[in-house]
Structure 1
Amino acid sequence: MSARFLAVICTGAAALLASHAFAAEPRPVVVELFTSQGCSSCPPADRFLSELSDTRTDVLPLAFHVTYWNQLGWKDPFSFEAVDARQAQYVKRFRDFAYTPEMVIDGKAEVVGSNRSAASSAIDDAKSTGVTVATVSAAREGGGVSVTIGPGRGRARVLLVGYDARHVTPIGLGENAGRTLTESNIVRSFAPIGQWSGAPLTLHANAVTGEHMAVLLEASDGAIVGAARVVDGQRAPAR
């Protein structure tokens, strides 16, 4: 997966003033659920993620479907190998093995995805202690996306994530055979579109696969330090 982009550095006092105006605004806590339709332990975590999607605008829930359960008889149609590679980076930080359902909160903490109490506590901790290095806003423009990042300190990789709002899938084989799964915010693609280095930055990228999109700022240690949903039409300030 790749996205072609053009970076334009924006400077001037107006950009700096806008940055300070929005600096205190909260941004969504990013919740990544590593899951699979071939995993019998995953449906409760999938339901929890759906509830987060339906009830909390202060959380950006994303379901990443891994491929390593596909050999049990059911190939998850939403799984792809880049998800396995993303989870492998978290494995290096948190555990010695990959598992599902694993929920990673803001790239800094992980819990079993079906453990609602632990997940909710981790989300609350992220809201109170999470770092936002710069404001982010993003909007669709034609067949692409325009991303604006304000000034700040540090460096971060800019990721564009595409996801579908909801799918209902009858499962024919494997551990969940006979069940119908309803899953939300299913990641269909993600790609790096640039690098932010502290100065105000505007990126223009091709849209990635998915009904909706979001932008993540990811620090070198994997922590999420900025995020925004991509809005349709005129750009709005990031939450």
Structure 2
Amino acid sequence: MKTIKIFLLLAFMEIAGLSSLAFIQTSYKIKPVAAADEGFAVVELFTSEGCSSCPPADAVVAKIEQEVTGKPVYILTYHVDYWNRLGWKDVFSSPDYSRRQNNYANWLNLSSVYTPQVIVNGQTEFVGSQEGTLRNAIGMGLKQSVTVKLSLSDVKINNNSATIKYHTDAASGSIIVLALVQKQATTVVKAGENRGRSLSHVQIVTNIKTISVSASLGENDIKLPPNFSAKNFELIAFLQDSKTGKINAAARTGFPISL
């Protein structure tokens, strides 16, 4: 009788162990969003080709970017310029992105900024290589309720700029952040902490613009880079509270491709 009890106990423990393992293996998966859900996740990664800690975070973001196609997850990677002093000037870097990161330090009451840093929906920040934390933050964002709307339409390319129309039911005085995003690129780094490495990037912010909302319908333009191609760029916009940094809505659109 004792032998049977011991056998049953071991069998139960083995099943429980397999269940725990299954949970560990699937806990990193982002669940599909039901049609009724209106949540979203804006993922902002602050990174640099001059920082040896950044490639793992870039890889995590690239992995997730492949998984969330068709979902309301908006990934933007900003290459800051303060690591350029280490010997390698990041071709994607801009002081505008460093300033944006410092704005988050003020909004989130942080004593300093760092790379790689991820901020989700303007409210949650953590080290960008923490894959589980990022997935959980995205999942929480997709479950949130949305009280305002934002949409983009009628993108037109005029020489070296693009004109975009937006529609929102946000109150007058709100802020729209408009970002031009290059979908992917690879750089061979020849100096600095990542010397000799070939670094792959996704969702690279190449220009950013802040727009004050004065009406439900509006139009604005954004400058395009010399290497612009309709296939490899997109526009991402989001409504952000200029006092708290909280992001309340987001949208994206591609560019018309000439046949």
TM-score, with structure 1 as normaliser: 0.79
CA distance in 2, matches of 1:130, 1:106: 13
Pick 1 or 2: higher relative contact order, CA cutoff 8 A, min separation 6. Answer: 1
Provide the C-alpha distance between the structure 2 equivalents of 1:203 and 1:106, rounded to a whole number of angstroms. Answer: 24
Equivalent of residue 78 in structure 1, options 87, 92, 106: 92
Structure-2 change in CA distance of 1:62 and 1:88 (3 Å) = same
Structure in which a larger fraction of residues adopt helix: 2
Which protein is bigger by CA-based radius of gyration?
Answer: 2
Q: Which residue matches 1:114?
A: 129
The residue correspondences of 1:166-205 to structure 2 (distance < 5 A) are: 166-196=184-214, 200-205=216-221
Q: 1:125 to 1:77 in 2, by over 3 A?
A: same
Give, in whole Å, the separation in 1 of the partners of 2:239 and 2:50.
30
The gaps in structure 2 that reach 5 residues or longer are 1-35
Conservation of the 8 A alpha-carbon contact between 2:39 and 2:144: no
Aligned to 1:137: 152
Say how many residue pairs are matched.
209
Q: 2:61 aligns with which of 18, 36, 49?
A: 49
Paired residues for 1:13-52 under 5 Å: 26=38, 28-52=40-64
Query: What is the DSSP-based 3-state SS (H/G/I as helix, E as strand, rest coil) of the residue aligned with 2:134?
Result: helix
Structure 1 residue 227 corresponds to structure 2 residue 250:
yes
Residue 154 to residue 194, structure 1, CA distance change in 2 (3 Å) = closer
Structure 1's 229 and 98: CA in aligned 2 closer, same or farther, altered over 3 A?
same
Conserved in 2, the CA contact under 8 Å of 1:194 and 1:203? Answer: no
* 1:162 CA drift (Å): 0.7
- Residue 175 of structure 1: CA displacement? 0.9
Counterpart residue number, 1:104: 119
The question of whether the paired residues in 2 share the 8 Å contact of 1:33 and 1:104 is answered with: yes
Instruction: Note the aligned Cα RMSD (angstroms).
Output: 2.2
How far residue 159 of structure 1 moved from its aligned partner, in angstroms, is 1.8
Query: 2:27 matched to which residue of 1?
Result: none
Pair 1:141–1:31, CA change in 2 (3 A): same
Deviates further, 97-106 or 128-137: 128-137
Aligned mates of 1:206, 1:187 — CA distance in 2: 12
Identity of aligned residues (%): 33
CA contact (8 A) 2:150 2:239 kept: no
Calculate the TM-score normalised by the size of structure 2: 0.74
In 2: Cα distance, 1:28 partner to 1:147 partner:
21
Match of 1:164 among 179, 182, 190: 182
Q: Distance in 2 between matches of 1:63 and 1:77?
A: 13
